[in-house]
Chains A and B, each alone.
Chain A
Amino acid sequence: MDHVARQGGLPAGRTPLKKRIADSAAPYLYSAPALILIVTVMLVPLVLGVSYAFRDIQLLNPFSGAYIGLDHFRALSEDQAFYRALRNTLWWTGASVFFQFVFGLILALLLDKPFYGRGLAQALVFLPWAVPSFLAGLNWAWLFNPVVGPLPHWLFGLGIMSEPHNILSDPQLAMWGPIIANVWWGIPFFAITLLAALQAIPRDLYEAASIDGAGPVQRFFSITLPFLAPTIAITILLRTVWISNFADLIIVMTNGGPADRTQIVASYIFTQAFKRLDFGYASAIALVLLALLLAYSMLIVILRQWLLSKD
């Protein structure tokens, strides 16, 4: 008791110096280990990577390492494979995000109201989220493979395909393989996020609206959508950036082929670093990708400001 009284009785200005230093150091001590790790393993390599973009760095060539200015970028501006990868990235990201969002939203709406067995249904439909991405890629690659997979035979049976062949080796269709795998894998993420947002909508709003005679469609457009809009916007934004960098499925399923038809910028960077061991060129592409992503984010911020100021 005495101890407590003395501690509480001290005027604020007379806290012992040692304790005050300890108090002000505390938050830094708590966050120091995480901070040090992030700086050494992420920030330093990031800066180093930017410098590589201006150097000739090839892993197997001990004489490389000299600064070569903008040579990589000059080479890049004439690299047809890079332009193709850029177009493929747009297609891959756009299609994946669109289908993940649409099917994710429908799923979230289906799971929103309690029903018998909802817990189990939720666990099952969210399961793909837990499947490691390399395994999701392999799994779908096998499903598309006419030797062991049923999909080509089904498509043939439905008359969509003239013969059961592998769409992953068809230059016209190959990109659909990783996109379908990505949609399968990514629906749960959208559904989970949107479901969480749906459950945060106050229920009495719906009751009030139906007393006022609003039908389900009207309630959806005048209550649900406006409430979900911020979550939808932010999720789509972050997901777009994330998916445009997501190379795992492509590397596993097609490795960019056939004839670079499924190569996206992220997988192109990886191929340059991993297969050709040309770290300089890989870093130059990475820098361009980073600039594009920054420009995209800026564009979104400006767009948001503009929309806000219009209201």
Chain B
Amino acid sequence: MRAKPLLLLIAHRLAILAYIAFALFPLYWLLKVAVTPNDLLYSEGIRMWPSRASLEHFDFVLRHSAFPVFFKNSLIVSGSTAVIVTILASLSGYALSRFNFRGKYWLVALMLLTQMFPLVMLVAPIFKILSPLGLTNSLTGLVIVYTAFNVPFATFLMQSFFDGIPKDLEEAAMIDGATQFVAFRQIILPLTLPGIAATLGFVFTAAWSELLFSLMLISGNDQATFPVGLLSFVSKFSVDFGQMMAAGVLALIPACLFFLLIQRYLVQGLTAGAVKG
């Protein structure tokens, strides 16, 4: 009787380890090639760790390539998108959580619809609309597009966080003479800080990862975001693996930082409105 639980325990831990290895191995390999000096890249192709590690690729990427510009552009786009979406979504999420109003059903239906149809459908029309406005090849254009794409999911997310806060709190404040907006801003919003952080994180990661629209809307190097920059780099210098992977490691940093910050809320947050990856 004693041997069986122990065996199960070992099998459980081994399975977890296998998952961790599978999850981390590609990222580990990215890092490994990024620190392998060029002269060892081919001779030590499948060694687990190069006999000599160096940061020369990072040095090159940071000082002699356009990647710092891409990095800055991506930070601007993802950061602004995250902040604007979170503001808009807390307002609309609050409306959905606290009010019953005519048209609410249609608002929810519209937001659900935007989650269902393929966004790739919009590539051509959005280009046609933004082009005469001078918003193609512009970071502002990207921020507008990403904000609209992310608002519906963020609204549902914020709504679920507002639903978790008792209504009595703002009712008490309103009896004391505060308007509903003041109660919302001064009492409810501070209580939803974890929700706000999670929303910021989700949207930032989504905007940081977006590929198709940035490929379509951005053409010049100086407005390129990270995905566009990295892909054009790959097609131009497809032999310089060390530098590409060093750039890849750098692109990974902000996304992983945000992930580690929000991962505590993932399981709770996604229970509420898991409709989109």
Residues of A within 8 A of B (CB): 3-4, 7-8, 24, 26-28, 30-31, 33-35, 37-46, 48-49, 52, 57, 59, 106-107, 110-111, 115, 121-136, 138-140, 142-143, 147-150, 153-154, 184, 186-189, 192-193, 195-197, 199-200, 235, 238-239, 241-242, 245, 247-248, 251-252, 266, 269-270, 273-274, 279, 282-283, 286-287, 289-290, 293, 297
Contacts and interface: CB of A to CB of B under 8 A. Distances in A.
Residue among B107, B120, B145 with the highest chain A CB neighbour number at 10 A: B120
Closest 6 CB pairs of A and B: A130-B259, A41-B148, A132-B209, A30-B95, A27-B99, A45-B125
Interface residues of B, number: 94
A35 B107 CA distance: 8
Contacts of B88: 33-34, 37
Given A43-B110, A293-B116, A31 B122 contact: no
Contact of A132 (B29, B94, B255): B255
B22 to A, nearest CB: 7
Given A38-B111, A192-B266, A283 B231 contact: no
B105 to A, nearest CB: 13
A192 B46 CA distance: 33
Given A31-B92, A49-B125, A138-B244, A132 B12 contact: no
Nearest to A149: B29
Contact of A38 (B95, B128, B152, B234): B152
Contacts, number: 269
Contact of A282 (B123, B145, B208): B123
Interface stretch (B56-64, B190-198, B245-253): B245-253
B29 A143 contact: yes
A128 B241 CA distance: 21
Contacts of B119: 245
- Looking at chain B's contact residues, is the secondary structure mostly helix, strand, loop, or mixed? helix
A196 to B, nearest CB: 4
B116 A269 contact: no
Given A46-B121, A106-B15, A269-B123, A238 B275 contact: yes
Interface of B: 12-13, 15-16, 19-20, 22-24, 26-27, 29-30, 33, 41-42, 45-46, 88-89, 91-92, 94-96, 98-99, 101, 103-104, 107, 110-111, 114, 116-129, 144-145, 147-149, 151-152, 155, 175-177, 180-181, 205, 208-209, 211-212, 215-216, 226-227, 230-231, 234, 241, 244-245, 248, 251-252, 255-256, 258-260, 263, 266-268, 270-271, 274-277
Contacts of A39: 110
Given A127-B24, A273-B216, A27 B101 contact: yes
B211 A123 contact: no
B270 A28 contact: no
Given A132-B251, A135-B248, 15 more contacts: A27-B95, A34-B155, A38-B114, A57-B124, A110-B16, A110-B19, A125-B20, A127-B27, A130-B258, A132-B255, A251-B211, A252-B231, A290-B118, A290-B121, A293-B118
